[in-house]
Chain A
Amino acid sequence: MAQANLEKQLNILDYALSSLWRRRLKSLSVLLVFAAVIFLLASFQMVTQALSDKAKQVLVHTPEITLQKMSAGRQEGIPLAYRDKLAGIFGIRRVVPRIWGYYFDEVRLANYTVMGMAVDEMPEGNRLDAALAKGAMPGPDEQGRVVVGHSISKALDLAGRNTFSLFRPDLSLKPFAISGEFSRDTDILTNDLIVMNLADARDLFGTPNGLVTDLCVYVANPKEIDTIAKKISEALPSVRVLTRPQIQKTYQVVFGWRSGFGSICLLSALAAFVILAWDKASGLSPEERREIAILKVLGWETSDILAVRFWESVIVSGLACIVGMTAAYIHVVYFAAALFRPVLMGWSVLRPELHLLPRLAVGDILLIFAFTVIPYLAATVIPAWRSATVPADSALGG
């Protein structure tokens, strides 16, 4: 009995395949349109998830707490002397000054992020070298030496040289020599980044002595970040206190918002496709009516005809899902999500050439499946009930 039932389902599947092949032009066009919708949705899902993962992974190496001086709602230089006010807070391991800012390169029409760091003062500062593909971070006495992100070295187009110059505010030139390059794995944060020592950054931006852009606070116990942040806020009321979890959350929100916006647009496209599929499945051509009536007279039950329609939809949507998701994976991994980069990477002129590796979690695959295949099955199988109930006697009497 079970064997006959299995054989029957295989026969019906066989008939569904041959039916799709007979209408191959129509089937192929539905498959391609559906695969394209799934491709867009899956690409978005994969790229967002990969970017969030990457940001999370890279932000692990940032300071636990960052302090910035605010005045009238705007950031201004924070006095180095504030370090003394933090000395009494228990749990602070070290406070390291940092100067950073944006440098607009008018020749290349690109924005660079310039960061002056006191690497020698950072706890485990030597570990930063691990983020480099080559060279070493500039020491406090190494004047004019910088480490650059991948896009910077490409944009500067040094043609074998390792020196370049940037303008100070008074338009005098400050020469630099590249002493290292960041690893491509850190592209999401370092792509447009130039790192130099604190003195060089002060010189380049003309930052007054005694002031820095922010103070990086390293704590002894990461579980106490929030408590220490609260104590700092109380000690320095005019200072904005940013914790690492807050920064991570901001990144998640930014990517989440962009992804959500894109997803809404793409879900609208999916909805339009599903409505079209519903419309197509509810209308029956005279040939289709005739075929169903003939099958019913020949002993096919309504459920058998529904099974044919079900298998047809499963094959089309399953293939579309495989094609769409594979194409999305290739698009994200090998083409760095070229279609969505303007949406997801923000305003930067030097967009990171990211090498993203999406983590293909079962949950994500099921989510895409649930948003694509299930609505399509519902849109085609439910109206198919109407077509399957064509009376058998319509095949008689000419």
Chain B
Amino acid sequence: MLIELSGVSKIYNQGRANEVRALSGIDLTVEQGSMVCLKGPSGSGKSTLLAIIGCIFPPTSGRAAIAGRQLARLPDRFLTLHRRETIGFIFQRFNILPELTVLENITLPLLPLGVAPKERKLRAQELLERFGITHRALFPAGQISGGELQRVAIARALINNQPIILADEPTAHLDTTLSREFMEIMLQLKEAGKTIVIASHDPLVFEHPAIDRTVTIKDGRIHVP
């Protein structure tokens, strides 16, 4: 199993007046090469669960093992290092930095890894060609269309060839055509062996045939209908 969560809970501001229990007793396993959708309304805990799988922070309690590493035992710095090597992120609204060029945005994850400029450019060129946006390479990201932006975000998540792709509400601000196009790309990545977890409450995503399993989250717990 590439992702293994057992009895995972997350409490924000523990012990303070503003304590919030975001997740309770989550058990979840995701096999390598599969695509899982985390479904649920806003505030249900999808993003928190995605953050734990994405090694952004460890759970408050329970066991979380991502690509063979127990997160609870990892200090903050090692969480970051593990995230760099393991997780590719696609954000809601894509979180592309509009003043940077498309090429600079795609290569952002490679900078702290000490990858030389020539190598960075080579890797980015490959992805730009794969997603048909080579002609936009030197455009400021703020000047390209929504569809191109989506492909830039996916290219950025793949630049370091991480085995796990996490997408947080990726279609929330896309029209139907672009949402379908996004899911087609996800299918191709899955077929290429990537493990994909998407947090979404968009039927176009969780009803897509490429999704192997949909997990419903409600009030911080996995909801079994």
**Chain A residues whose C-beta falls within 8 Å of the C-beta of B83 in the assembled complex:** 297, 299
List residues 356-398 of chain A with CB under 8 A from any CB of chain B.
391-393, 395-398
A299 in contact with B51 given A393-B56, A397-B92 (CB within 8 Å): no
**Chain B residues whose C-beta falls within 8 Å of the C-beta of A397 in the assembled complex:** 47, 92, 168-169
Q: Count residues of A near B (Cβ-Cβ below 8 Å).
A: 30
B92 contacts which of A11, A295, A392, A398 (Cβ < 8 Å)?
A398
List residues 153-196 of chain A with CB under 8 A from any CB of chain B.
none
Interface digits, B110-142 against A, CB 8 Å rule (1 contact, 0 not)? Answer: 111111110000000000000000000000000
* In contact, A11 and B111 (Cβ under 8 angstroms): yes
The total of interchain contacts (Cβ-Cβ below 8 angstroms) comes to 89
B80 contacts which of A12, A22, A291, A296 (Cβ < 8 Å)?
A296
User: A8 near B: Cβ within 8 Å?
Assistant: yes
* In contact, B97 and A8 (Cβ under 8 angstroms): no
User: B95 near A: Cβ within 8 Å?
Assistant: yes
User: B183 near A: Cβ within 8 Å?
Assistant: no
User: A335 near B: Cβ within 8 Å?
Assistant: no
Interface digits, B142-158 against A, CB 8 Å rule (1 contact, 0 not)? Answer: 00000000000000100
| Assembly CA distance A301 to B109 (angstroms) | 11
* In contact, B80 and A7 (Cβ under 8 angstroms): no
**Chain A residues whose C-beta falls within 8 Å of the C-beta of B111 in the assembled complex:** 8, 11-12, 14-15, 300, 304
* In contact, B92 and A5 (Cβ under 8 angstroms): no
**Chain B residues whose C-beta falls within 8 Å of the C-beta of A7 in the assembled complex:** 114-116
A298 in contact with B51 given A5-B114, A396-B91, A396-B168 (CB within 8 Å): no
* In contact, A304 and B112 (Cβ under 8 angstroms): yes
**Chain A residues whose C-beta falls within 8 Å of the C-beta of B97 in the assembled complex:** 291, 294
Q: Residue among B91, B109, B111 with the most chain A CB within 10 A?
A: B111
User: B4 near A: Cβ within 8 Å?
Assistant: no
* In contact, B95 and A294 (Cβ under 8 angstroms): yes
| Assembly CA distance A7 to B77 (angstroms) | 20
Chain A residue at smallest Cβ distance from B83: A299
**Chain B residues whose C-beta falls within 8 Å of the C-beta of A295 in the assembled complex:** 108
* In contact, A301 and B80 (Cβ under 8 angstroms): yes
User: A4 near B: Cβ within 8 Å?
Assistant: yes
A2 to chain B, nearest CB (A): 10
User: A246 near B: Cβ within 8 Å?
Assistant: no
* In contact, B112 and A299 (Cβ under 8 angstroms): yes
A395 contacts which of B95, B99, B104, B112 (Cβ < 8 Å)?
B95
| Assembly CA distance A13 to B151 (angstroms) | 27
**Chain B residues whose C-beta falls within 8 Å of the C-beta of A258 in the assembled complex:** none
A18 in contact with B100 given A5-B114, A301-B77, A396-B56 (CB within 8 Å): yes
* In contact, B109 and A299 (Cβ under 8 angstroms): yes
A398 to chain B, nearest CB (A): 5
* In contact, B47 and A298 (Cβ under 8 angstroms): no
Report B's interface with A, CB cutoff 8 A: 47-48, 50-51, 54, 56-57, 77, 80-81, 83-84, 89, 91-93, 95, 97, 99-100, 104, 108-117, 156, 160, 168-169, 172
Task: Report 27 cross-chain contacts, Cβ distance below 8 Å, ordered by A residue.
Answer: A3-B114, A4-B114, A7-B114, A7-B116, A8-B112, A11-B110, A18-B104, A22-B100, A291-B97, A294-B95, A294-B97, A297-B91, A298-B89, A298-B109, A298-B156, A299-B83, A299-B109, A299-B112, A299-B113, A301-B80, A301-B81, A392-B56, A393-B57, A395-B95, A397-B47, A398-B93, A398-B172
- Across chains A and B, which 7 residue pairs bring their CB atoms closest together, nearest first? A299-B84, A8-B114, A397-B47, A4-B114, A7-B114, A11-B111, A298-B109
